[in-house]
Amino acid sequence: MQEARLGTQRQPASLVHEEPAQVHIVDDDAAVRSALARLLRSHGYDTVDHPSAESFLASHDPDAPGCIVLDVAMPGLDGPGLQQKLQEEGDAMPVIFLTGSADVPICAAAMRKGAVDFLTKPVDERELVRAITMALQHDAVRRLARHQKDATDGRLASLTPREREVLDHVMNGRLNKQIASDLGTAEKTVKVHRARAMEKMHVRSVAELVRMVERARFGISWLG
- Lowest-confidence range among 94-98, 143-147, 217-221? 217-221
Q: Residue 91 pLDDT more than 90?
A: no
Cα 181 to Cα 65, 164, 176, 178, distances in angstroms: 49, 16, 9, 5
pLDDT of residue 81: 94
Beta strands in the chain (DSSP E): 22-26, 46-50, 66-71, 95-99, 117-120
pLDDT of residue 219: 56
Percentage of residues of the chain with pLDDT beyond 70: 88
Residues 6+ apart with CB under 8 A from 42: 5
- Residues 138, 43 share a domain: yes
pLDDT of residue 14: 40
- Residues 137, 43 share a domain: yes
Q: Where is the domain boundary, 90, 122, 145?
A: 145
| Phi, psi (rounded to 5 degrees) for 61 | -105, 105
Q: Into how many domains does the chain fold?
A: 2
**How confident is the model over 118-137, as pLDDT tens digits?**
999 889 999 999 999 999 99
**How confident is the model over 4-53, as pLDDT tens digits?**
333 334 443 344 445 789 999 999 999 999 999 999 999 999 999 999 99
Task: Indicate whether 166 belongs to any domain.
Answer: yes
**How confident is the model over 98-112, as pLDDT tens digits?**
988 767 778 888 888
Percentage of residues of the chain with pLDDT beyond 90: 64
- DSSP label at 155? H
Mean pLDDT of 184-210: 93
Q: Give the pTM.
A: 0.71
- Residues 176, 121 share a domain: no
Cα–Cα distance for residue pair 104/110, rounded to 1 Å: 10
Answer for the pair 224, 151: CB distance below 8 angstroms, yes or no: no
- Residues 168, 137 share a domain: no
Task: Indicate whether 74 belongs to any domain.
Answer: yes
| Phi, psi (rounded to 5 degrees) for 122 | -70, 130
Q: pLDDT band at residue 160, thresholds of 50, 70 and 90?
A: very high
Average pLDDT, whole number, for the chain?
Answer: 86
Residue type, 128: L
Domain that holds residue 208: 158-218
Residue type, 179: I
Q: Residue 224 pLDDT more than 50?
A: no
Task: Indicate whether 6 belongs to any domain.
Answer: no
Domain of 213, CATH number, reads: 1.10.10.10
Task: Indicate whether 25 belongs to any domain.
Answer: yes
Q: Where is the domain boundary, 92, 121, 145?
A: 145
Q: Where is the domain boundary, 117, 145, 173?
A: 145
Task: Indicate whether 3 belongs to any domain.
Answer: no
Cα–Cα distance for residue pair 223/217, rounded to 1 Å: 18
pLDDT of residue 20: 83
- Residues 169, 63 share a domain: no
